[in-house]
Structure 1
Amino acid sequence: MACVDRYNMPLSTDSDTAAQHYRTGVDLLLSLWTGVAQTLDEAIAADPDFAMAYAARARFHAVRTEIDEAKAKIAKATQLVQINGTARERSHIQVLSHVINGEPAKALANALQHLDQWPLDILIMSLPLGAFGLFAFSGRADHDKARVELCERHARHFPENDWWFLTYRGWAHGENGDVALGRALTERSLELRRHNVNAVHALAHVLHEAGANDEAGDVIRDWLPGYDRSGTLHNHIAWHGALIALERGDLETALGLYAEHIAPEVATGLPINVISDTSSFLWRLQAYGHAVPAGMWQSAARYASKHFQQPGFAFADFHMALLAAATGDQRSLEQRAGILAELVSEGTLKAGPVVPALCHAVMAFADGRFRDCARILEPVAHEVVRIGGSGAQREIVQDTLLVSLMRAGESQKARALLDQRLHRRPSVRDSRWLTALTQG
C-alpha cells in the first residue's frame, strides 16, 4: 500500500494512476476549480475498488446538491472501505456519510474527533470551515470563533505555505475580527494557487471586513474572467463585485454584473447561492432607494419556488422570506414563519427564534411598517449570526434595521448604529447616511 495522499497518508489502492487522480481531484474539489468530477471519475475508473475516490466523488455530488448520486457513491465507499480500508479511511468515510445523509450534528462531532487523530485529513478539515460549513450552520452564536480555534489547534501540523490551509485559516480570522492576519493569509494563499476560487472568495470577505471594497473590486475584476462560467462559485464571486459597485453608488455596473452573472437566467451555481445572491442583492438595491427593474423580483421568486419549500434551514429560510416579502406573498411567508415558530418550540431549529422573527421583520419592511420592523429586529439583531453564512451576507439584516430606523424617524438610534458600524469598518454608504442624518 505505497500509494499516499498529498500529506503522505496511506491510500487503499495499488494503482498509482488512481492515487494521482485522487490527489488532483481532491485539490480541485478543495479549490472548487473546474474538472473535479472528471478527475475523480478517472480515479474510480483506474481502480473500481478505491473507496476514497468514491467518497470524494460523493462529497462533490453533495456540494452540487446532487443528493441521490451522493448517497449512492457514499454507500459504495462505505461498502468498499470495510473490505480493504484503513482506520483513518473508515472514519473519513463515516464522517462524510453523516454529512451526506443529513446528520450534521453527528458529522461535526465525528469530524472534530477524527481531526484530533488525523489533523492533515483536509477533506474532513474542510467540513466545519467556511461560511456554509458545519460550524456556520450549527446554530451556534460563536461559530466564527470556533473556526479560528479549530485552525489554530491544528496549525502546527501544516506546512507554512499550504495553499489550502492558508485560505481557510485566513478566512476564519477575518470573519472573527482579525482582518490584518486574515488578509495576509488569504493573499498568500491566492499567490500560491491562483486557480483557487475559495482563496479569492476568502480574500473578498476579508477585504469586505476591512472596509477595503475598492481593493476587493480590483481583485475580482482581475480574477473572475479566468474562472469558467460553469464554476460552482462563478455567480457568487460576481455577487461580491456587484455589492462593491452598489456600495460606491455605481448602479450601472452593479446591475450589469447582476444581469450578466447573477440573475437566475444566467447563474450556474448552487440553488442556495443563486437564491441568497439574487434575493439579497435586489433587497439591498430597493432598501438603498433604487428601483428594482421590472421582472427581476418575479424571476428570482420563480427560481426559488423549486427549492427550500420545507422550512428548517435557517439561512435559506431568511432569503426565501426576502423573496416572499418583496413579491407580496404574505400567505407563504406567514406559513413559513408559523412552521419555524413550531420548530423553535420543539427545540429542533438550532438557530432559534431569530429565524421566524426575521420573517416577520422583512414583511413589515416590505409593507412600509418601518417602526414595526425596527421593533422586531432590535432585540434579536445580536442573534442573527446563528443563521450562518458570512458577515457580508448577514449584514443585510443590519442594513434593514438601519434603514427602518431612518425611515421611522428614529434618527438618534440610527446615528448610534452608524457610529458602531463605522467604528468597525469604513463604509462609503454609512458615511453618506451619517452625514445626511447629521445635517438633517
Structure 2
Amino acid sequence: MAIDEHGQALGPASPAAVRHYDNAIHELLHFRAEVVDETRLALAEDPGFALGHVLSAYLGLLTTEPGDARAARESFTPFRASLDPSRLPPRVRAHVEAVEHLLNGDFTTCGDRLARITEEHPRDALALIVGHQIDFFTGDARSLRDRIGGALSAWNEDDRHFGNVLGMYAFGLEEAGHYDRSEDVGARAVELDPKDVWGIHAVVHTYEMQGRFRRGIRYLDDRLDDWSTGTFFNVHTWWHYALYALEAGDTARALDIYDTVLHGPDSTDTALEMLDAAALLWRLLLDGDDQTERWRALADAWAPKTDEAFYAFNDMHAVMSFAGSGRLAEADRLIADRETYVAADRPGVTNHAMTARIGLPVCRALVAFVRGEHDAVVDLLYPIRHRVHEFGGSHAQRDVVQRTLVESALRSARTDLARVLVSERLNLRPTSPFNWLKHAEAADALGDRAAAASARSRATALRGREVDR
C-alpha cells in the first residue's frame, strides 16, 4: 500500500507516481502552476492511480472556468467507469465521491464530504486545501476557520507543510473576524515558509479589513520577491496592493498595477484574474473616474466566457465590465440568460442558488447604477447586504457591492440610510480615508457642514501619515 509524505494511504500506486503526487501537493499548497505538470507526470507513471485522477479533476474544477470543468468531467468519467472502488482505502474512496459531487456542480456536498475526510484524516493535505478553497468559493467564513483549526493539532512544526496549514488557518481567522489572531498566525506561517503566498495573502487581508493600508504596502514591499511572480496568486496579491494604493489616494499607482499586471500585455485572461481587474475599475467608477478604454478591453476579454452559467461571482464581474464599458445590451443579455438558467430546476447545483439569491440581484443593481437608477440599486442591494457572502469570495472582494450600495444611497438622496451605512463602515475601520470621505458626503447631505469638513480633514491626515501600526 503506497503512502504519501504525510502518512496517508494512497491505494495502489507506483513509487514514481507517489513521488510526483507528493510534489504536486507541495506545488498546490504554494499555488504554483507546476502542480499541473506534476499531476500529469504522476498519471503518466501510473495511469490507474486513483488520487492522481482525483487531483486532476479538482484542479480543473477549482479554476471556476466552465471549459476547465467540462474537460475535468470528460477526463474523469471514463476513469470512474473503469474503477474498482473495493481496491481503494476508504479515504481515497471518499475523495472519489467528493470530486463526483463537485463534477456535478454540488460544491456544498463536496465540502461536507471533505470535512468528513478531515475528521478522520486531519493530515490529508489534499482534503484540507481543496475543502478550504470550496469554503472560499461559497463564502463560508466559519468553515474557512474551523475546517483548518480542527485539523491543526495533528500537525507540528517538523512537518514540511505546517506553515502552509497555518497560512490557511490565518485566512480563515481573518474571514471570521479574528484580526489580531490572524495577523499573528499568518506572520508565523510566513516565517516558517516565506514562499507561502496564501499566508502572505492572509496577512494582507487582515490589514485591508483593519484599514491599515500603509502597513500593508510596507508588508508587501518587504516580501516582493516572495509573492509577486511565479504563482497562480501573484495577480490577486497585486490587486490587494492596488487597493492599498487607492486608499492612500495614489490612483496613478493603482492604474500602473492594473496596466502591468491585472490586465496588461501578459494577462492570461482567466476569470480569477479578470475579476480582480473589474473590481478595481469599478471602485474607480464609483468615484466618478472614467476608465472607458480599459473597460472596453476588459469587456472584450469577458465576452467569450459568459455563455455558460458556472459561478455567479464571476458573472458579477463580467456584468461590471459590460456595464462599465457602456455595453449595457450585453449586460442585459447575460442577466436574461441567467434568469432562464435559474428558472429551470437544478437540484444540488450550488451555483443555481447562488445566482438566484445573490448573483442576479447584484448584476441587476450594477446595470441600474450605470443607468443612474440609484433608487433601484438600493432596493436591490439593501435586502441582501448581509447575505452577499453566499455567492463566494472574501470580505475584501465583496466590499465592492457594499460600496455600490453606499454610493447609490448617497446619489438617491436617501440620506438617513447613507448615514447608517457609512457609520457602520467608519466604526469598523476608522483608519480608512475612504470611509471618512463618505462620512463627509453623508454629512453634507444632512446639512452638517462642520462635520463634513472635519471628516475630510481626517481623511487627508490619514493619507498623509507616514506610518500606521
The TM-score, its normalising length taken from structure 2, stands at 0.83
Tell me: CA distance 1:318–1:400, structure 2 relative to 1, closer, same or farther (3 Å). Answer: same
Distance 1:54 1:343 in 2: 30
Correspondence 1:83-102 to 2 at 5 A: 84-102=87-105
Aligned: 1:145 with 2:142? yes
* 2:305 aligned counterpart, secondary structure: coil
Offset of residue 13 of structure 1: 5.0
Offset of residue 379 of structure 1: 2.3
1:256 corresponds to which residue?
256
Tell me: CA distance 1:218–1:368, structure 2 relative to 1, closer, same or farther (3 Å). Answer: same
- Count of aligned residue pairs for this structure pair: 431
Q: Which amino acid aligns with 1:113?
A: R
2:330 corresponds to which residue?
332
Offset of residue 385 of structure 1: 1.6
Offset of residue 264 of structure 1: 5.5
Kindly indicate whether the alpha-carbon contact (under 8 Å) linking 1:51 and 1:81 is maintained by their aligned counterparts in 2.
Answer: no
* 1:27 aligned counterpart, secondary structure: helix
Aligned: 1:236 with 2:236? yes
2:434 corresponds to which residue?
429
* 1:119 aligned counterpart, secondary structure: coil
Distance 2:192 2:33 in 1: 18
Aligned: 1:56 with 2:69? no
> Cα deviation per residue 1:321-351 (whole Å; 9 max; x = unaligned)?
2122222333333333344445556565312
2:349 corresponds to which residue?
none
Gaps of 5+ in 2: 347-351, 444-448, 453-469
Offset of residue 218 of structure 1: 2.3
* 1:305 aligned counterpart, secondary structure: helix
Identical amino acids, percent of aligned pairs: 23
Distance 1:411 1:281 in 2: 26
Correspondence 1:5-404 to 2 at 5 A: 5-12=4-11, 15-64=14-63, 65=65, 66-67=68-69, 69-71=71-73, 73-75=75-77, 78=80, 79=82, 82=85, 84-130=87-133, 133=134, 135-138=135-138, 143-159=140-156, 162-227=162-227, 229=229, 231-263=231-263, 265-268=265-268, 271-292=270-291, 294-311=292-309, 313-341=311-339, 344=342, 348=346, 349-351=352-354, 352-404=356-408
Q: Which amino acid aligns with 1:317?
A: D
Kindly indicate whether the alpha-carbon contact (under 8 Å) linking 1:174 and 1:206 is maintained by their aligned counterparts in 2.
Answer: yes
Kindly indicate whether the alpha-carbon contact (under 8 Å) linking 2:30 and 2:198 is maintained by their aligned counterparts in 1.
Answer: yes
Kindly indicate whether the alpha-carbon contact (under 8 Å) linking 1:341 and 1:353 is maintained by their aligned counterparts in 2.
Answer: no
Distance 1:81 1:197 in 2: 38
Q: Which amino acid aligns with 1:175?
A: E
Distance 2:107 2:224 in 1: 32
* 1:353 aligned counterpart, secondary structure: helix
* 1:401 aligned counterpart, secondary structure: helix
Distance 1:56 1:244 in 2: 35
Higher mean alpha-carbon deviation, 108-117 vs 274-283, is at 108-117
Q: Which amino acid aligns with 1:149?
A: D
Gaps of 5+ in 1: none
Tell me: CA distance 1:76–1:199, structure 2 relative to 1, closer, same or farther (3 Å). Answer: farther
Q: Which amino acid aligns with 1:39?
A: E
Kindly indicate whether the alpha-carbon contact (under 8 Å) linking 1:232 and 1:268 is maintained by their aligned counterparts in 2.
Answer: no
Distance 2:102 2:15 in 1: 29
Kindly indicate whether the alpha-carbon contact (under 8 Å) linking 2:18 and 2:42 is maintained by their aligned counterparts in 1.
Answer: yes
* 1:195 aligned counterpart, secondary structure: coil
> Cα deviation per residue 1:70-106 (whole Å; 9 max; x = unaligned)?
3355346644564743222222233223324533244
Offset of residue 312 of structure 1: 5.6
Distance 1:222 1:81 in 2: 51
Distance 2:264 2:105 in 1: 27
Distance 1:311 1:74 in 2: 21
* 2:131 aligned counterpart, secondary structure: coil
Distance 1:311 1:82 in 2: 32
Offset of residue 250 of structure 1: 0.2
Q: Which amino acid aligns with 1:122?
A: A
Q: Which amino acid aligns with 2:142?
A: K
Kindly indicate whether the alpha-carbon contact (under 8 Å) linking 2:33 and 2:231 is maintained by their aligned counterparts in 1.
Answer: yes
Kindly indicate whether the alpha-carbon contact (under 8 Å) linking 2:285 and 2:324 is maintained by their aligned counterparts in 1.
Answer: no
* 1:204 aligned counterpart, secondary structure: helix
Kindly indicate whether the alpha-carbon contact (under 8 Å) linking 2:12 and 2:49 is maintained by their aligned counterparts in 1.
Answer: yes
Higher mean alpha-carbon deviation, 15-24 vs 391-400, is at 15-24
Distance 1:374 1:49 in 2: 54
Kindly indicate whether the alpha-carbon contact (under 8 Å) linking 2:228 and 2:237 is maintained by their aligned counterparts in 1.
Answer: no
